[in-house]
Chain A
């Protein structure tokens, strides 16, 4: 294997009773990369994290951290023997220790002066040097989060794992803390795995996004890839709003009810395809002669979401600038935004919502 891989999972499997929480997971994370693992609750994303941390033992498969095997069929290393940093949703600071002692907890192998220096460095890095003598309960949620990160990064782990790190924070606080925390992780150059259920978060913080579902990895790719080129209906729906219209293929031309699709995908003959339509791909124009009708309007501030019923009865949604508002019942004509267009996906037996 490459020396530069911080984390390597091969066919890692874990079940709880009948539930398969990790089904032969394969994942390689190069050093310094930030990976977001995303999926609905119960998809196994937290299990993946706990397996890497050593809080759970895999039933099968192997895990390597920085080139060292920490779990395979022959052996298993306890969490204290792995070079892993952990940041939990509830921060998990030690309530009986002050900030300085919390950050210094994992530095037992260092000499006292070394430890003190390292703690100071870490506190400066998260801008908390002034609060070193405080107890956790005297800190705000965002400050606690930063202490938790400083504590996890202090022993210089090969990989730092963040389990829904921002979901316990208030909405308005979340974005700021998120950018601060992720900037610190980037500065430290540490490999990071962030578990989240928030697609905006996954798309904005990560170099690569891992989309999980029912213990399996559905797609791994850059944020752009998983959003713009979803590999499945599940990924398409989970990573953003999506509507589907049947595609008609005539020679080289692919079209759907609202227009010609400007893509030339390699299509398999004999397979039916759907066009994946994001609301920002769809245009809506008031048109008394239009075959479609506005059925629902939602004002979102910057944008207005229009739901439109087409002549066929299918529904699509469209984002319009906040100044545009077609009342319910307006006849409209619907089209596709020009530019790099929507993707095609094979029609699946099961409908994913």
Chain B
């Protein structure tokens, strides 16, 4: 073969088959969406040494490490342990627990956090009771501490590990587990030596998700006076509005995130998820009796109660208690803010994700594939990094405009408006939209696209007449997921909101920070109920991100 065609082939594999406009669009979107993260990296590297890091940055790093370690251990024990319990044993309430243990996924940590504090802090019922029984100087551990934060975050985040571990145990290892048992291993040994190692890739993925969420949080941990690196970004930016100092710490957060991803890869050890077409039945469950059965039920129900049932009941009680007061008129405004924001972000995310899916189907080549990957990047990057990145990009744009002779640049377009929140949320939530819509595209055989094109349809007609009608369910799922994610989202809004702009989540956080539990209860319940939607869909066995076409 002559070298010329070879080179041409290589170039084409990168650039695709020549739908230039579509490919360019995806590349542009990919560049825009990854710009904030790139900005943090660039500014972090260029500015290293120029700006003074806050003196307590060392403490922040250690606090972050301890928090990550604590929450990692907590979710591992709860998630993997409960998954083993419901898949290897039979006991009263097992069926109920096997799905209900996912419910805490709907409870944002900033809501469980304040319910927890109200119950266990100095003024709460538990400590009052202890004082009544043992006198005023009874020793109780400090609730507003790293330990408290670890407990609350473990209770809200363990379902990630639980879900993936349970799936891995049910799908992969029925026969292997049985083989180990016939070779004389006890159940405990079979769990430790066979089930757990086989579930390792899933556990690694679950733990990575948990730690990413932990790293991103800078609201809940502040209830507990825990200052992580993400809190550092928030405090520096809100305290001094010194973008470059904030960037330095944001870069530090990014280092943590990268380390987590690398850690996940190492923990997986090259193992890949084995996705089997059929649904396994899992190991034959051993029936527990008597004391053991009671203990197993109590463990499961206890976690469910502490993480979900009691907090929800407490919120309901509070909300009812406050129902005699006239409804705060601000609730309507804030709700409208949340919903508007969510709908706009969802519309943008879904449009972007659909266009990317379409362009990939037209044969975009490696460049489009990479750009599509870039757009999902934001989800794995902590909110503080995305937020500061958006500010940086806008700052550059400002200076660019001023340099180009535009008076005042973009003005207060970003810091003074909702635009910053909007962009940041889009950057963060294109990934779940992409995942849902891409799943729909993947289910559509490539021959459908090929047929439509060879019947003379232009790419645009293929999009509107063939692709859109068939990925409709994916678009619906993506919209719901993004709307809920945006309404729940707290850190980004806190970081970027202009003066006077409040959403429901921010309001809950503010009320809770000022110990107005009862007032916070109703909006908190609204958020929990909304967040239950995807969880219930998931529990009903129809993971919204992989729904089967009717």
Residues on A lying within 8 angstroms of B by beta carbon are: 13-15, 20, 23, 53-57, 59-60, 76, 78-80, 82, 84-86, 88-90, 92, 94-96, 105-106, 108-109, 148, 151-152, 155, 163
Contact at A86–B1, with CB atoms within 8 Å? no
Which B residues are CB-close (under 8 A) to A148? 451
Docked complex Cα distance between A14 and B469 (Å): 34
Contact at A80–B5, with CB atoms within 8 Å? no
Which A residues are CB-close (under 8 A) to B455? 80, 85, 105-106, 151-152, 155
Contact at A59–B9, with CB atoms within 8 Å? yes
Which A residues are CB-close (under 8 A) to B461? 108
Docked complex Cα distance between A171 and B18 (Å): 41
Which A residues are CB-close (under 8 A) to B363? 55
Contact at B448–A92, with CB atoms within 8 Å? yes
Which A residues are CB-close (under 8 A) to B6? 15, 59
Instruction: Report the 10 A-B pairs with minimum CB-CB distance, sorted nearest first.
Output: A106-B455, A59-B5, A92-B447, A88-B447, A60-B5, A79-B453, A59-B9, A96-B469, A92-B451, A79-B454
Which B residues are CB-close (under 8 A) to A88? 445, 447, 450-451
Which A residues are CB-close (under 8 A) to B448? 92, 94
With A57-B18, A59-B5, A92-B448 in contact, do A105 and B469 touch (Cβ < 8 Å)? no
Contact at A59–B454, with CB atoms within 8 Å? no
Interface flag for B12 (CB, 8 Å): yes
Docked complex Cα distance between A96 and B549 (Å): 11
Which A residues are CB-close (under 8 A) to B8? 59-60
Q: From residue A115, how far is it (CB to closest CB) to chain B in Å?
A: 13
Which B residues are CB-close (under 8 A) to A89? 447
Tell me whether chain B's interface is mostly helix, strand or loop, or mixed: helix
Contact of A92 among B4, B9, B450 (CB under 8 A): B450
Interface flag for B418 (CB, 8 Å): no
Interface flag for B31 (CB, 8 Å): no
Q: From residue A89, how far is it (CB to closest CB) to chain B in Å?
A: 8
Indicate with 1 or 0, residue by residue over B418-454, a CB within 8 angstroms of chain A CB atoms: 0000000000000000000000000001011011111
Contact of A90 among B17, B19, B447, B465 (CB under 8 A): B447
Question: Would you list 22 pairs from A and B whose C-beta atoms are within 8 A, ordered by A residue?
Answer: A15-B5, A20-B1, A55-B453, A60-B2, A78-B17, A88-B447, A88-B450, A88-B451, A89-B447, A90-B445, A92-B445, A92-B448, A92-B451, A94-B451, A94-B452, A94-B470, A106-B457, A109-B456, A148-B451, A151-B451, A155-B455, A155-B456
With A15-B1, A59-B6, A96-B469 in contact, do A86 and B445 touch (Cβ < 8 Å)? no
Q: From residue B246, how far is it (CB to closest CB) to chain A in Å?
A: 45
Q: From residue A120, how far is it (CB to closest CB) to chain B in Å?
A: 18
Docked complex Cα distance between A206 and B17 (Å): 32
Interface flag for B458 (CB, 8 Å): yes
Which B residues are CB-close (under 8 A) to A53? 450, 454
Residues on B lying within 8 angstroms of A by beta carbon are: 1-2, 4-6, 8-9, 12, 17-19, 363, 445, 447-448, 450-459, 461, 465-466, 469-470, 549
Q: From residue B1, how far is it (CB to closest CB) to chain A in Å?
A: 7
Which A residues are CB-close (under 8 A) to B12? 57, 59
Look across to chain B and name the residue whose beta carbon is closest to the beta carbon of A59. Answer: B5
Docked complex Cα distance between A57 and B16 (Å): 10
Docked complex Cα distance between A88 and B449 (Å): 11
Which A residues are CB-close (under 8 A) to B4? 60
Docked complex Cα distance between A53 and B452 (Å): 12
**B2, B363, B456, B466 pick with most chain A CB within 10 angstroms:** B456
Contact at B450–A55, with CB atoms within 8 Å? yes
Docked complex Cα distance between A14 and B10 (Å): 11
Contact at A86–B454, with CB atoms within 8 Å? yes
Which B residues are CB-close (under 8 A) to A55? 363, 450, 453-454
Contact at B17–A82, with CB atoms within 8 Å? no
Look across to chain B and name the residue whose beta carbon is closest to the beta carbon of A161. Answer: B454
Docked complex Cα distance between A14 and B1 (Å): 10
Docked complex Cα distance between A213 and B271 (Å): 36
Look across to chain A and name the residue whose beta carbon is closest to the beta carbon of B468. Answer: A96
Q: From residue B153, how far is it (CB to closest CB) to chain A in Å?
A: 44
Docked complex Cα distance between A76 and B20 (Å): 13
Q: From residue B180, how far is it (CB to closest CB) to chain A in Å?
A: 38
Contact at B454–A57, with CB atoms within 8 Å? no
Contact at A80–B456, with CB atoms within 8 Å? yes
Docked complex Cα distance between A78 and B458 (Å): 9
Q: From residue B83, how far is it (CB to closest CB) to chain A in Å?
A: 37
Look across to chain B and name the residue whose beta carbon is closest to the beta carbon of A57. Answer: B17
Known A89-B447, A94-B466, A105-B457; further 18 A-B contacts with Cβ < 8 A: A23-B1, A55-B450, A55-B454, A60-B5, A78-B19, A79-B450, A80-B458, A85-B454, A86-B454, A88-B450, A90-B445, A94-B452, A94-B470, A95-B470, A95-B549, A96-B470, A106-B457, A155-B455
Q: From residue A88, how far is it (CB to closest CB) to chain B in Å?
A: 4
Which B residues are CB-close (under 8 A) to A15? 1, 5-6, 9
Docked complex Cα distance between A109 and B461 (Å): 13
Look across to chain B and name the residue whose beta carbon is closest to the beta carbon of A84. Answer: B454
**A59, A82, A89, A148 pick with most chain B CB within 10 angstroms:** A59
Which A residues are CB-close (under 8 A) to B453? 54-55, 78-80
Contact of B1 among A13, A80, A82, A105 (CB under 8 A): A13
Which B residues are CB-close (under 8 A) to A23? 1
Which A residues are CB-close (under 8 A) to B18? 57, 76, 78
Q: From residue B368, how far is it (CB to closest CB) to chain A in Å?
A: 15
Look across to chain A and name the residue whose beta carbon is closest to the beta carbon of B19. Answer: A78
Q: From residue A148, how far is it (CB to closest CB) to chain B in Å?
A: 8
Docked complex Cα distance between A78 and B452 (Å): 12
Q: From residue A144, how far is it (CB to closest CB) to chain B in Å?
A: 12
Docked complex Cα distance between A334 and B14 (Å): 60
Which B residues are CB-close (under 8 A) to A82? 454
Q: From residue B532, how far is it (CB to closest CB) to chain A in Å?
A: 31
Look across to chain B and name the residue whose beta carbon is closest to the beta carbon of A76. Answer: B18
Docked complex Cα distance between A122 and B318 (Å): 69
Which A residues are CB-close (under 8 A) to B454? 53-55, 79-80, 82, 84-86, 152
Which A residues are CB-close (under 8 A) to B451? 86, 88, 92, 94, 148, 151-152
Q: From residue A104, how far is it (CB to closest CB) to chain B in Å?
A: 10
Which A residues are CB-close (under 8 A) to B1? 13, 15, 20, 23
Look across to chain A and name the residue whose beta carbon is closest to the beta carbon of B12. Answer: A57
Which B residues are CB-close (under 8 A) to A76? 18
Which A residues are CB-close (under 8 A) to B470? 94-96
Look across to chain A and name the residue whose beta carbon is closest to the beta carbon of B444. Answer: A95
Docked complex Cα distance between A85 and B18 (Å): 21
Which A residues are CB-close (under 8 A) to B458? 80
Contact at B2–A86, with CB atoms within 8 Å? no
Which B residues are CB-close (under 8 A) to A84? 454
With A57-B12, A90-B445, A96-B470 in contact, do A105 and B5 touch (Cβ < 8 Å)? no
Look across to chain A and name the residue whose beta carbon is closest to the beta carbon of B470. Answer: A96
Which A residues are CB-close (under 8 A) to B452? 94, 105
Docked complex Cα distance between A62 and B456 (Å): 21
